[in-house]
Chains A and B, each alone.
Chain A
Amino acid sequence: MIGWSAGQIWLIIIVLGLATFAIRFSFLGLIGDRKLPDWMLRHLRYTPVAILPALVTPAILWPEVTGGQISTTHLLAAAATLGIGYWRKNSAFGIAAGSATFLLLNALI
């Protein structure tokens, strides 16, 4: 890769791998079978619905492919994924609806 030696790339892979494992292991490794307090469990229940939307919001509102302009295609595909996934209570339906909407609008517009 331009600008990077093989050693630098492998250093990044290994350090990132170790740090990621440390994060994944953190509570599993330290806490063992001690019971977590109720207030903490109440917060942890919301991790997926709290983190993942924040992770994808910028990519949906300001997609790189349009140079950061708001895109109807991306917004509608995201809405279809959430709407159908929520209605059917099923992720596969959500992905299918979102991808179909995206490809269809991309072909039409």
Chain B
Amino acid sequence: MAIDTTSRKAFWRGARDCGPFVLVAVPFGLLFGVIGTEAGLNIAQVMGFSIVVIAGAAQLTALQLLLDQAPTIIVLLSAIAVNLRMAMYSAALASHLGAAPLWKRALVAYMNMDQTYAVSVVEFEAKPELTLTERLGYFFGTCLPIVPTWYAATLAGALLGQSVPGDWGIEFVVPIAFLSLVAPALRTLAHIAALVTSVVLAIVFVGLPYNLGLMPAGIGAMIVGAEVERRMGQP
């Protein structure tokens, strides 16, 4: 009973901490719904993307390549490349939630997204004393403002369809949202070094097709961050 109460508290704390990211899920979801419908997908297909794939950047990547009439294999490989970063999220979450039963880990995996991962891992590292049940409660709490909102916003966007003007740069909400996730995470010099490396390598590898530069840039920046941390003896 006591465990139940603390995990419920952790759930609502997670929901509250992830609450501001409604501001990410709503515009992303609307954006995908509107653009998908305008591109000629029907509502079932637009919703299929948001429920089955549930990854905004990859969905937008796939949509762009569908419009470009790219070969099926290129559509798939590019969108998968955008999602490869989630393997690292999976590893980070596994170090905190790995002891959970398989079906719970599968549920965590389905909702393992930029926001739920980032908010949860910050919490788990700040509070190593949390029990597994509390950590699971917290993680599922972070999903509450994101996942149902993602479905609903996609549906709203699809229904809005062509009535939204698309020529004033609304697509720039996407990078703004990603950057806003990064800014509060810049806690130490090592984090800043990783950010700078990431940007520089992204520019260096920009010529590579199909988002292939994302992986070397990300891995390079992780190595720099970890190395700066090791040399400075930071936690």
Residues of B168-202 at the interface with A, using a CB-CB cut-off of 8 Å, are 168-169, 171-186, 190-191, 194-195, 197-199, 201-202
A28 in contact with B90 given A17-B53, A90-B20, A92-B20 (CB within 8 Å)? yes
Structural contact, B184 and A90, CB atoms closer than 8 A: yes
CB distance from A101 to the nearest CB of B (A): 9
A65 in contact with B206 given A24-B89, A78-B175 (CB within 8 Å)? no
Structural contact, A91 and B20, CB atoms closer than 8 A: yes
Decide if A104 is an interface residue (CB 8 Å cutoff): no
Decide if A32 is an interface residue (CB 8 Å cutoff): yes
Residues of A1-60 at the interface with B, using a CB-CB cut-off of 8 Å, are 1-4, 6, 8-17, 19-21, 23-29, 31-36, 39-60
Counting chain B CB atoms within 10 Å of each CB, the highest count among A43, A92, A99 belongs to A43
Docked Cα-Cα span, A26 to B199, in Å, equals 27
* Nearest opposing residue in chain A for B113, CB measure: A24
CB distance from A70 to the nearest CB of B (A): 12
B176 contacts across to A, CB distance below 8 A: 77-78, 81, 94-95, 98-99, 102
- Out of B114, B180, B194, name the residue touching A85 (CB < 8 Å): B180
Structural contact, B109 and A46, CB atoms closer than 8 A: no
Decide if A72 is an interface residue (CB 8 Å cutoff): no
A23 in contact with B84 given A49-B194, A53-B199, A78-B175 (CB within 8 Å)? yes
* Nearest opposing residue in chain A for B50, CB measure: A13
A20 in contact with B218 given A47-B92, A94-B179 (CB within 8 Å)? no
Docked Cα-Cα span, A84 to B93, in Å, equals 28
- Out of B80, B183, B199, name the residue touching A20 (CB < 8 Å): B80
CB distance from A27 to the nearest CB of B (A): 4
Binding site for B on A (CB under 8 A): 1-4, 6, 8-17, 19-21, 23-29, 31-36, 39-65, 74, 77-78, 81-86, 88-92, 94-95, 98-99, 102, 106
The 5 closest A-B pairs by CB, nearest first: A85-B183, A46-B225, A94-B180, A50-B221, A17-B52
